[in-house]
Structure 1
Amino acid sequence: MDLKLMNYKTISTWLAIVALLITFSCKQATDLKAFTEANYSLQGIENLQLNGINVTDKRTPFDFKTAEGDSLLNAFTTNKLNATTTLFLHVEMPEPEVTRIMQVTNLEWQLLVDGHETLMGTVQKPLDLKNGLNKLPLSSTVTLAEVEGLQNYEGFSTLTTLIAKGRDVRNRLTFRIKPTIKTPVGNVTLPDYITVGQPAGS
């Protein structure tokens, strides 16, 4: 084969690969921007379990068996608490007609009570997000947020007191997420937390 012809084909192949990577990277950048600017709303939670104990229907401390309460309290104070649940998260994209799928490799979350960080955790199992309703089976660590190096028991106490009184606490809670997104050049963590809103009419 002619050396010049071979070099031309090699160069053409590399140029085609580079052009494909640039196009793919541009789409990833556009998708990342769209997911960053999207509106997120929590539609519901099903089968919430803490260390294997179903707490979905628990409303007061008296709903727990003594052994369950002791086990959860010990796990909580030693930062060995893990939650599993199915989260229904609605994603409203700026351009809903464009198909976009984003793989989240790591998801940090925070629960704020009256504006104060109270609970936090990390989901490490990959998740796929798309426009519209996402049904997400999650497993996450659960820890108390810290204030000046000390665990924020005050915020947690406020949360449990409100729940024990049977009050609607949604207007006093803020749920925030910070996803790490998979891209062709590596994982990218969003610089700021995204606030997850409540469904309209909640």
Structure 2
Amino acid sequence: MSRLTFLFSLLLLFALATGCKQASDLKAFSEAKYSLKEMHNLELNGVDVMQKRSPYDFTTSEGDSLLASISNNTLRASTTLLLQVQMPELVTDRQMTITEMKWQLLVDGEETLQGVVQEQLDLHEGLNELPIQTSVLMSEPEGMRNYEGLSKLMTMLSLKKDLRQRLRFQIKPTVQTPVGEVELPEYITVADPSNS
């Protein structure tokens, strides 16, 4: 009986130590500084938009498909993000598993696009390469779709202007913890005009 009690105590101590480490990692990630370094292979509904320089580069069927998806709020995107994570304290073995991630894009401070990544992502200190697939929905402040914000974004893209001063990208992850999945209470800013 004492041997069983000893083994149970060891397992309990291990579980507590693991839980404490995950809680510490979660706190570190919530206080980390995030920056979006690059984006590769951006596709909207299967159309590679990184190779498009003007509206004339889209075929008629590609344009019609994208416009229909924007109108119906059914646009889908896939891309690879290079996300830099800088911890407040340098500890190399920190890791966080994200089970779902809400995101939003603000244009001139107004919510314009949003979506949800529903695949598992593992984050660590340093540069993270994250292949993602997500819905792309127009934000609906006060129940109305933000066509004005989308129009501003499309105009900036067509004029090939530096967008960093007018865009803010934010994420709100749900993370795996010893007691289950927990959604962070607030959005984390990944790219902000003030930090450009």
Q: TM-score of the superposition, structure 2-length normalised?
A: 0.95
Superposed displacement of residue 9, structure 1: 2.1
The corresponding residue for 1:50 is 44
Among candidates 8, 27, 34, match of residue 14 of structure 1: 8
Q: Does 1:170 align with 2:164?
A: yes
Moved more, 52-61 or 166-175: 52-61
Pairing partner for 1:89 from 83, 86, 89: 83
1:43–1:198 Cα contact (<8 Å) kept: no
Q: Aligned partner of 1:55: which letter? A: V
1:141-186: CA deviation from partner (whole Å, max 9, x where unpaired): 1100002111111110111111112211111000000111111210
Q: State the one-letter code of the partner of 1:109.
A: W
Residue pair 2:29, 2:87 contacting (<8 A) in 1 also: yes
- Which stretch shifts more, 54-63 or 175-184? 54-63
Query: d(CA) in 1 for partners of 2:90 and 2:76?
Result: 34
Unaligned ranges ≥5, structure 1: 1-5
Judge conservation of contact 1:42–1:198 (CA < 8 Å) in 2. Answer: no
**Residue 122 of structure 2: which of 121, 128, 132 is its match?**
128
SS at match of 1:169: coil
Aligned with residue 92 of structure 2, among 67, 82, 98: 98
2:128 equivalent to 1:138: no
Consecutive unaligned residues of structure 2, counting only runs of 5 or more, are none
Structure 1 counterpart of 2:71: 77
Q: Is the 8 A contact 2:167 2:192 kept in 1?
A: no
Tell me how far apart the structure 2 counterparts of residues 119 and 197 of structure 1 sit (CA, whole Å): 14
Post-superposition CA distance 1:52-97 (Å, at most 9, x none): 0000132332221111111001012112211000100000011223
For the pair shown, the structure with the greater C-alpha radius of gyration is 1
Match of 1:189 among 183, 186, 189: 183
Query: Residue 67 of structure 2 aligns to which amino acid in structure 1?
Result: L
Displacement of 1:10 in angstroms is: 2.3
- Alignment-derived partner of residue 3 in structure 1: none
How many residues end up aligned between the 2 structures? 196
Most deviating of 8-17 and 187-196: 8-17
Q: CA deviation at 1:34?
A: 0.3
Identify the residue that residue 62 of structure 2 maps to in structure 1.
Answer: 68
2:109 counterpart of 1:111: no
Looking at structure 2, the residues matched to 82 and 30 of structure 1 have their Cα atoms a distance apart, in angstroms, of 35
State the one-letter code of the partner of 2:167.
L
Aligned-partner Cα distance in 1 for 2:121–2:91:
22
Give distance in 2, aligned partners of 1:56 and 1:152: 24
Q: What RMSD, in angstroms, separates the aligned Cα atoms of the two structures?
A: 1.7
